[in-house]
Amino acid sequence: MSGDHTSSLISARVRHVEALLESRGLLAAGEVDGRIDEFLAGGTPANGARIVARAWLDPGFAGRLLADANSAVREVGLSMAGGLQEQRLKVVANTAAEHNVVVCTLCSCYPIALLGPSPGWYKSEAYRSRVVRDPGGVLAEFGLQLPAGTSIAVWDASAESRYLVLPRRPEGTGALTEEELAGLVTRKGLIGTAAV
């Protein structure tokens, strides 16, 4: 369940099955690649940034987002249904007392339909194995020093839910528009390896 799969037995098997399906006319040539491209094109970290900016400006939306993220993201025109089936989205909010960080220790589960492909480091064995044991050390390597007394909650995406971190709104941003606020949010912030 780890590492690079491109040269593995399962990859060869998948390519063989794809070729058989194409040769029997069940699948158009390139259809799988097309569907994957379509799936990935809909996802971008900008979607997550929009969700965060709305949550910062609208406490009601933030509450709905934490209670039932799948319903709440539809309010801003987004969906977790971009794949074969709708995946459950769980949003976890950073507070002054607790910082959240997301990992998939078993493979590389990530809200692709919403955020697009995950960064390479998210899939690395180093990140996946170390962040559950020493999240403070890993976050420090990312340049994130949490204030003393902040506890860290690690979320392991070991089943069917996908996760999004709701960062804390930076101080001094009271005058910014929703779009400007969204511009502050990074992909690392949405995973929890950056403050915002």
Partner 1 sequence: MSTGTERFLPGDRVRTRSLDPDGHTRLPRYARGAVGVVVEAAGRHPLADDRARGLTGEAQPVWHVRFAAADLFGSGDHTVTVELWDDYLTPVEGS
Residues known to be catalytic: 104, 107-109
What part of residues 54-93 is at the interface with partner 1 (CB under 8 A)? 88, 90
Q: Which 3 state secondary structure label does DSSP give 11?
A: helix
Smallest separation, CB 86 to partner 1 (Å): 10
Question: Which listed residue (9, 10, 159, 175) binds partner 1 by CB under 8 A?
Answer: 159
Compare residues 153 and 184 and give the one whose CB is closer to partner 1: 153
Does residue 108 interact with partner 1 by CB under 8 A?
A: no
Does residue 152 interact with partner 1 by CB under 8 A?
A: yes
The C-alpha angle with vertex 193 and arms to 47 and 185, in degrees rounded to 5, equals 35
Compare residues 22 and 156 and give the one whose CB is closer to partner 1: 156
Number of residues that bind partner 1 (CB under 8 A): 21
Smallest separation, CB 135 to partner 1 (Å): 5
Smallest separation, CB 56 to partner 1 (Å): 24
User: How does DSSP assign 60-109, residue by residue?
Assistant: HHHHHHHH-HHHHHHTTT--S-SSSSPPPEEEEE--SSEEEEEE-SSS--
Does residue 136 interact with partner 1 by CB under 8 A?
A: yes
Does residue 196 interact with partner 1 by CB under 8 A?
A: no
Distance CA 120, CA 118 (A): 6
Question: Which listed residue (106, 140, 143, 183) binds partner 1 by CB under 8 A?
Answer: 106
Residue type at position 176 = L
Which burial class, exposed, middle or buried, applies to 50 when counting CB atoms under 10 A from its CB (0-12, 13-18, 19+)?
Answer: buried
Question: Which listed residue (26, 120, 133, 148) binds partner 1 by CB under 8 A?
Answer: 133
Compare residues 77 and 149 and give the one whose CB is closer to partner 1: 149
Question: Which listed residue (151, 179, 180, 183) binds partner 1 by CB under 8 A?
Answer: 151
Q: Which 3 state secondary structure label does DSSP give 2?
A: coil
Which burial class, exposed, middle or buried, applies to 102 when counting CB atoms under 10 A from its CB (0-12, 13-18, 19+)?
Answer: buried
**Binding residues for partner 1 (CB under 8 A):** 1, 88, 90, 105-106, 132-136, 151-161
